[in-house]
Amino acid sequence: MKTGRSTGAMGRSVTGRKAVQGGQGTGTGSRGNGGQAPGPEVPGRERPSKGERTRRRIVGHATLLMYANGYARTSIEDVIQAAGITKGSFYFHFRSKEDLGYAVIENASAYILGRLREALEKPGLSSRGRLEAMLREIQGIVEAADCTRGCILGNLALETSHDHPGFREAIAAAFREWWDLIASHLETMKAEGHLPPDFDCRAYAQFAVSALEGGIMMSKVTRDPGPMRTAAKLVLDLLPREGEGRVPAPKREEREPKARGKG
């Protein structure tokens, strides 16, 4: 499957946070300094080349533009102007707008996946608490844009999946990564005894992503965070409560049969 070149993290401003023009991503796919000027250099870490910084800047601005306007309404000229580069510089890094589209999908996926992974790895929380933190993270990304933009990958899927099968495959792969991440966390909860032994973690993870994407789309249409919040709440409420998955210890009389009476 074609996914374009490696892109690094999506800019923070995709979530509605302040954009910093000309920023460079960190290449981590997580919060980091994505879309912002690089922080202090880490000893031993190779400094990105000028070409790599330019490429990251192009992808970052293209991601913001496609998130706001969609793929079809974002032109190469728009990206060149926003990134402050020349046409020659653009075509040095990307063969076409389609090539850039793959990079944007990879960039957006890496950023969101990084945010979800961070939430699921937060220390000091129960397994259920980390899952709740992940749901809050998703809500925060959407609500930071006043629910007007929805999910960038969901938007691109609806817009491009028919005419661009390669984009469809790349976006499907991104969603599968989300399923895998959530399913892995649910498997951990099952191993800890917080979910029933026969609980289908992967099916539930697919349901969770589908429900959230539907809620996000409805919130975008209605300009109301309510549908998305309801979807997130139900995703959590439909899981067994903490400890419900544990196998109960047998009662005393079940372990030790009563002595039979005489006669």
Q: Which CATH number fits the domain that encloses residue 160? A: 1.10.357.10
Confidence check: pLDDT of 157 > 70: yes
Residue among 172, 165, 156, 175 nearest 65 (CA): 156
Residue 29 covered by a domain: yes
Confidence check: pLDDT of 33 > 70: no
Residue 209 covered by a domain: yes
Residue 153 covered by a domain: yes
Residue type, 161: S
Neighbours of 151 (CB within 10 A): 22
Higher pLDDT, residue 45 or 169: 169
Q: Which of 22-31, 33-42, 79-88, 253-262 has the highest mean pLDDT?
A: 79-88
Confidence check: pLDDT of 232 > 80: yes
Tell me, rounded to whole angstroms, the distance of Cα 75 from its chain centroid. 25
Q: Is the dihedral of CA 184, 126, 209, 148 positive or negative?
A: negative
User: Residue range 46-64: average pLDDT?
Assistant: 91
Copy the structure tokens of residue 217.
């789309």
What is the domain extent for residue 66?
12-237
- Exposure b/e, 217-246, CB count within 10 A at least 16 = b: bbbbeeeebebbbebbeebeeebeebeebe
Mean of the per-residue pLDDT values of the chain: 80
Residue 136 covered by a domain: yes
Confidence of residue 242 (pLDDT cuts 50, 70, 90): low
Residue 212 covered by a domain: yes
Copy the structure tokens of residue 51.
């070409």
Residue 3 covered by a domain: no
Residue 151 covered by a domain: yes
Lowest mean pLDDT among 34-48, 49-63, 169-183: 34-48
Residue 65 covered by a domain: yes
Q: What is the pLDDT of residue 45?
A: 57
By the 8 A CB rule, do 36 and 20 touch? yes
Phi and psi angles of residue 251, each rounded to the nearest 5 degrees, phi first: -70, 160
- Considering its fold, how many domains does the chain have in total? 1
| pLDDT above 90 coverage of the chain, percent | 67
User: Residue range 42-66: average pLDDT?
Assistant: 85
Confidence of residue 27 (pLDDT cuts 50, 70, 90): very low
Q: What is the pLDDT of residue 44?
A: 55
